[in-house]
Structure 1
Amino acid sequence: MQTIITASETSSVSTRDRGLNYGDGFFTTAIITHGQVEHWAYHKARLIECAQRLGFPALEFSALESHITQQIASQVQAVLKIVVTRGEGGRGYAPPSECNLNIIVSVLPYPAHYHSLHETGISLAISPIKLALQPHLAGLKTLNRLEQVLIKNALQAEQSDDALVLDYNSNVIETSAANIFAIKNNKVISPRLDECGIKGVFLQSLCDKLAIEFKTISVDELTQAGAVFVCNSLMKIVPVKSIGEYCFDIAHSRSLLNELLAKEA
């Protein structure tokens, strides 16, 4: 069973909810444009994968999709967030044998600063907080986001827009809020996400347009690329203008990307 909750000032979730107590759940965040959820098929696939890999019962999408349609019909540009928890029950960490999932649906304002980042490019500091390796959770967007909270907290001491995040082997993984990819020798490369990190919906959709090689990438290799970009469902593709003290020509970056997209079209 599942219960759909519309997020509002009066909505509530039980203090016994496993999402609150253990982070036992997952979520996805999408952009709404003129009453439609962009890349919904990919967001739906993400929710299905998270449920399967975390041992949740299958989501009932017909009811969820109908609810979402009603909530976003009048939205020109906004953000849709879907949070799924295992609900109440179980003994300690052990999940209940039968779950009543809670699905919290929020419609939020679109972050206005994303528009300016497209024009100016994004600056990245290298985060002192590194990601732990956990293949069982790698790629998933779970409710366990304390690493990202620590990363954002450390970023407050920097003058950068976001942080480049490494794993404990000092390999590039992502930023605090987006995936990252680079163009090097006319090829698109992006970090492997099989041990940690989040497999973003927009990056997956980009694989339909570009041949992307997922590989182990060091900071040195990233800064030696011809162009670097970050991407997520809300900001889409934004060129990186700097990583630490290393700077990129974002006009050149855009040109390289447009050339590759034209070739693959």
Structure 2
Amino acid sequence: MQTIIAANETSSISTRDRGLNYGDGFFTTAIITDGQVEHWAYHKARLIECAQRLGFPALEFTALESHITQQVASQAQAVVKIVVTRGEGGRGYASPSECNLNIIVSVLPYPKHYNSLPDTGISLAISPIKLAVQPHLAGLKTLNRLEQVLIKNALQAQHTDDALVLDCNNNVIETSAANIFAIKNNKVFSPRLDECGIKGVFLQSLCDKLAVEFKTVSVDDLTQADAVFLCNSLMKIVPVKSIGEHYFDIVHSQSLLNELLAKEA
């Protein structure tokens, strides 16, 4: 069973909910444009994969999709966030034998400053917080986001737009809230996400348009690239203008990407 909760001033959730107590759940965040959820097929696939890999019951999408359609129909540009928890029950960490999932649907304002990022680019520092390796959770967008909280807290003292996040082996994984990819000699590459990190919906959609090689990536690989970009469902594709003291020409970066996209079209 599942219960859909529309997030508003009067909505509530039990203090015994496993998502609150243990981070036992997952979520996805999508942009709404003219009453439609962009890349919904990918977001739906993410929710299905998370449920399967975390041992959740299968989600009932007919009711969920109907609810989302009603909530976003009047929105010209906004954000929808879908949070799924295992609900209440179980003894301690152990999951209940039967779950009544809670699905919380929030419609939020779109961050307007994202619209200017493709023109201004983003500066990156290297975060002092490193991601732990956990293959069982790698790629999933679970409710366990304390690493990202620490990364954002550390970023306040770094005076850059975002932070490049490494794993405990000093491999590049992502930034605080986006995937990263680069172009070198007209080839696109992005960090492997089989040990930690989040497999972003927008990056997956980009793989339908470009041949992307997923491999082990170092900071030097990025600084020696011809162009570097961030991407996620809300900001889409944004050029990186600097990593530490290394700078990129973002006009040139955009030109390289546009040429590759045109070639693959």
Output the TM-score relative to the length of structure 1.
1.00
Q: Distance in 1 between matches of 2:74 and 2:119?
A: 28
Q: Distance in 2 between matches of 1:221 and 1:34?
A: 39
Identity %: 89
In the comparison of the two structures, how many residue pairs are matched? 265
Q: Distance in 1 between matches of 2:5 and 2:171?
A: 39
Q: Distance in 2 between matches of 1:3 and 1:154?
A: 37
Q: Which residue of 2 aligns with 1:110?
A: 110
Q: Which residue of 2 aligns with 1:221?
A: 221
Q: Which residue of 2 aligns with 1:180?
A: 180
Q: Which residue of 1 aligns with 2:264?
A: 264
Q: Distance in 1 between matches of 2:243 and 2:115?
A: 20
Q: CA deviation at 1:112?
A: 1.3
Q: CA deviation at 1:142?
A: 0.0
Give the ranges of 4+ consecutive aligned residues of structure 1 lying more than 6 Å apart after TM superposition. Answer: none
Q: How does 1:5-24 map to 2 (within 5 A)?
A: 5-24=5-24
Q: How does 1:111-190 map to 2 (within 5 A)?
A: 111-190=111-190
Q: CA deviation at 1:8?
A: 0.5
Q: Distance in 2 between matches of 1:144 and 1:245?
A: 32
Q: CA deviation at 1:123?
A: 0.6
Q: Which residue of 1 aligns with 2:255?
A: 255
Q: Distance in 2 between matches of 1:67 and 1:119?
A: 36
Q: Distance in 2 between matches of 1:194 and 1:151?
A: 20
Residue 38, structure 1, aligned to residue 57, structure 2 = no
1:87 counterpart SS class: coil
Q: Which residue of 2 aligns with 1:48?
A: 48
Q: CA deviation at 1:120?
A: 0.3
Q: Give the counterpart letter for 2:177 in structure 1.
A: A
Q: Give the counterpart letter for 1:120 in structure 2.
A: T
Q: Which residue of 1 aligns with 2:61?
A: 61
Q: Give the counterpart letter for 1:112 in structure 2.
A: K
Residue 80, structure 1, aligned to residue 80, structure 2 = yes
Q: Distance in 1 between matches of 2:253 and 2:119?
A: 12
CA-atom RMSD in angstroms: 0.4
Q: Give the counterpart letter for 2:180 in structure 1.
A: I
Q: Distance in 1 between matches of 2:197 and 2:113?
A: 24
Q: Distance in 1 between matches of 2:5 and 2:118?
A: 34
Q: Which residue of 2 aligns with 1:195?
A: 195
Q: CA deviation at 1:113?
A: 1.3
Q: Give the counterpart letter for 1:131 in structure 2.
A: L
Q: Distance in 1 between matches of 2:248 and 2:148?
A: 26
Q: Give the counterpart letter for 1:179 in structure 2.
A: N
Encode CA deviations 1:14-39: one digit per residue, 9 max, x unaligned: 00000000000000000000000000
Encode CA deviations 1:100-144: one digit per residue, 9 max, x unaligned: 000000000001111121210001110000000000000000000
Q: How does 1:196-211 map to 2 (within 5 A)?
A: 196-211=196-211
Q: Distance in 1 between matches of 2:14 and 2:184?
A: 50
2:252 counterpart SS class: helix
Q: CA deviation at 1:183?
A: 0.1
Q: CA deviation at 1:263?
A: 0.7
Q: CA deviation at 1:260?
A: 0.4
1:140 counterpart SS class: coil
Q: Distance in 2 between matches of 1:118 and 1:242?
A: 14
1:41 counterpart SS class: helix
Unaligned runs of 5+ in 1: none
